[in-house]
Structure 1
């Protein structure tokens, strides 16, 4: 299966932030590492995608929900993978 790796650079940092926030498990991991002082920042992040060429052509946008929630309810943190509040 083809794959492509994306590293975070200043010009795409906003997109990396969106991807991290769109995935509750990843967001929780990053926040946990930040709280421990073990996360050096987005410059250390790289994401490898695997999939067909059409998916890989979308780049990191392939990881974002197609219909993201909007409104006040989307600003509240949701449950993590174990169903606990974040």
Structure 2
């Protein structure tokens, strides 16, 4: 199974609980993708702003906001998010 298919299956799990609140809309606007936003919100919660601007070891020291600037970074971010225990 491809990484993209795994991501789609994984991210879809979190969409039902991702309500249309102002906070969630803001997160979606920052990351530019509703599925990525839903997964971040589930794992990180309301501390997502701080997390998005923190250097993350699992992203080779990059900040998540830096990852959303390129396709390769987005792929890396998705793979990292799928590895966080639920």
TM over 0.5, yes or no?
no
User: RCO greater where, 1 or 2, for CA within 8 Å and sep 6 or more?
Assistant: 1
Q: Identify, as 1 or 2, the structure richer in helix.
A: 2
Q: In which range does the TM-score fall when normalised by the shorter chain? A: under 0.3
Normalised by the length of structure 2, the TM-score is: 0.28
- How high is the TM-score relative to the length of structure 1? 0.28
Larger strand proportion, structure 1 or 2? 1
